[in-house]
Amino acid sequence: MLDLIPSLGAWLPTLGGGQFAVATIAAASGSVPRPVGTSMIITASGSVLGSLSGGCVEGAVVALAQEAMDDDAARRKTFGFSSEDAFAAGLTCGGELDIHIQPVPARAAHPLRTALQVMAQSGPDQPLALVRTLGTRGGDAVVVPDPAAFQLAGLLAAAPELLHLLHGETALQVESMVRGGGAGLVRLSGPGECPPDRDGRSGRPEDAAVLVESRLAPPRMLVFGANDFGAALVPAARLLGYHVTLIDARPAFARQPRFAAAHQVVTDWPHRYLAVEAAAGRLDSRTVAAVLTHDPKFDLPLLEAALALDLAYVGAMGSRRSHLQRVGDLLAAGVAPERIAQLHSPIGLDLGAVTPAEVAVSITAEILAARTRAASCTPLRDTSGSIHQHPGPAPAPTDFNHQEIAWT
């Protein structure tokens, strides 16, 4: 349900104290348009917030939600590709979605109603997690305000029934998923029965599970270099959800209005800034460093410091010739070869990028490929020959990342 947060504040008055249902993707396989955890809210009057499949199954889900609200019983339905009946509700993309529908009675102090109210007050980048049960009549749910520091014992006061369901390995899975971010389903297993629900019924349904949705603080991207390429990369990085800091030692360059899209602009020597941030614990294994300064007096001490840290990605702009010189200098400075092998240089995927905007796409594409471990993309560092092949007359040599230029 975390995907609904941007719209919840304006939409909660539509719910009021009335009856509604929450339809959620509990499992997905094959080619599907939305991931696990994606939710849609349906009111008794037929108003809808959110989407599960871009239109393929929404009509059928709304009908099931109305049935669930009529008898106050949860529903679970699998939707897949239907080749026999073109008019049946199915996914034309060929994937499969397992949809869970939880009704929430009118005026009830239901855990899902409370969770929606809490989430509606959250900021767009605020760390947050939602842990909820599926397949049980109660529909327990609890909002976790600090997922990175989450401990399962914290559920005791907020949702004792939910805590009772978790044993051994399932408890460890839930705790790990909350602290790691993302979304996933943990099937409930282990000794004991569920405690009686609010109607006095007990027992563990066969499909009982815990759905975890967790959103950590945005990962950081450090863009070193107040130049045309930095100006293009900053907004592109924000589109990927990074908290972007631009760093340059030259005040006259860093203070230009074209870098206003950065969350933070810092005037400092790059390697010194990196050392301070690392010592303060403000960098982690999701942090990305893009070195666009293309000046050895900045690049070498910065890369020496960056390659000693556990960062998600370290990339450096430059031609193949400058990269070879850089590698030699790093080796001479005592940087281990296995650490240098982690450097993405020349930076970016082999897209034939020329302009700063195109180079930004090339860099963000490589960062995304590294983040998702996509194997079908080719980094420039893994190719040979000229970085960019011009189909026609070569343009003026203004792009020092994707052309072999005599002065690099």
Which amino acid does the sequence have at 339?
A: R
Indicate if the alpha-carbon torsion angle 320, 323, 328, 331 is positive or negative.
Answer: negative
CB 275 within 8 A of CB 229: no
- Average pLDDT on 111-133 reads 90
Give ranges for CATH 3.40.50.720 in the chain. 220-382
Q: In whole angstroms, give the CA distance from residue 208 to residue 27.
A: 13
Say whether pLDDT at 278 is over 50.
yes
- Between residues 123 and 408, which one has the greater pLDDT? 123
The angle, 0 to 180 degrees and rounded to 10, between the axes of the packed helices 296-306 and 320-332 is 60
The overall pTM is greater than 0.75: no
Is the model more confident about 25 or about 158?
Answer: 25
Report how far residue 388's alpha carbon sits from residue 101's, in angstroms, rounded to the nearest whole number: 52
Is the model's pLDDT at 225 over the cut of 90?
A: yes
| Average pLDDT score over the chain | 83
Q: Which of 52, 187, 210, 183 is nearest to 129 (CA)?
A: 183
- pLDDT reading at 407 higher than 50: no
Q: Which pLDDT does position 193 carry in this prediction?
A: 44
- 87-101, 164-178, 234-248: which range is least confident on average? 87-101
The Cβ of residue 338 has, within 10 Å, a number of other Cβ atoms equal to 8
CATH of 220-382, one of 3.30.420.40, 3.40.50.2300, 3.40.50.720, 1.10.1240.10: 3.40.50.720
Contact criterion met (CB below 8 Å) for 205 and 135: yes
Q: How many CB atoms lie within 10 A of CB 170?
A: 17
